Amino acid sequence: MQGMIFVIQRASLHDGPGIRTTVFLKGCPLRCQWCHNPESWSFEPEVFYNHDGTTKLVGKLVSVEEVMAEVLADRAYYASSGGGATLSGGEPLAQSAFTLALLKECKAQGLHTCVETCGHAAPERFQAVLPYVDLFLYDYKATGPDHRRYTGVSQELILANLDALYKAGAKIILRCPLVPGINDSSEHLRAIARLEREYPELLAIEIMAYHNLGNDKAKRLRRKPALPGIANPPQSTVQAWLDVLAELGCRKVRIG
């Protein structure tokens, strides 16, 4: 069993509780204009052009055993912090067989598991991994026609999978990337508030403020950045989003 990854990040603090090792799988069905990991889109290795004129290959095939050797190296940190392993991407469910094999092995080793997902995968793939996932970090990116406009796909399947996971008892943190002037409309903020009301057992709603790291990466992949003129939002803008959501009744919202 092999899968295509582009990096394994140890000592991660932002991909679930505690100290974690995050495995970034390569390949994604979405093309989010604000993506900060454009090297995750393709399922194949790609050439990354460094600023000093050198190049490197991004993406490699690895076995479950190779991944687990790195994951288990920090087992003591997981035990002391309540951490574990997170599968991210790309979209982990796009490599569903490899993701399932990794999750099974993590649980066999007694590790806490997270899956960070855009939600756009066949429902049966989510049902297969559900028994082995302690926490889903589930993206909610845009509302209505804006979802296809900014990500390349509609949101119907994503919402259906969210509903099915919630009703199956999954633990879920909803993650909402917000980009000034792009997907921070009042309609989208109201939709986020509706989801909290509809799914009151969500653990949290995390606002993920845009940062433009992906622009430089896109250039190094010889692609044109999708949002070259948008600056990272100041704290005042992020606070304004939080204030609006609070006014709309959100009680579980926080900065991710």
Write down all domains in the chain, each with its CATH number in brackets: 2-255 (3.20.20.70)
Specify the pLDDT at position 78: 97
Low-confidence ranges of the chain (pLDDT < 70): none
Per-residue pLDDT at 179: 97
Residue 108 pLDDT: 98
- Residues making up the chain, counted from first to last: 256
What are the C-alpha distances in Å from 146 to residues 41, 87, 108, 192, 222? Answer: 20, 27, 41, 14, 26
Residue 180: HSE in the Cβ half-sphere, 13 Å Cα cutoff: 15
pLDDT digits (tens, 9 = 90+) for 68-111: 999 999 999 999 999 999 999 999 999 999 999 999 999 999 99
Question: CA dihedral in degrees (187, 89, 97, 29; nearest 10)?
Answer: 50
Give just the sign of the alpha carbon dihedral 227, 232, 233, 238.
Answer: positive
Neighbours of 93 (CB within 10 A): 24
Res 229: pLDDT: 86
Task: Indicate the pTM of the whole model.
Answer: 0.96
pLDDT for the residue 103: 98
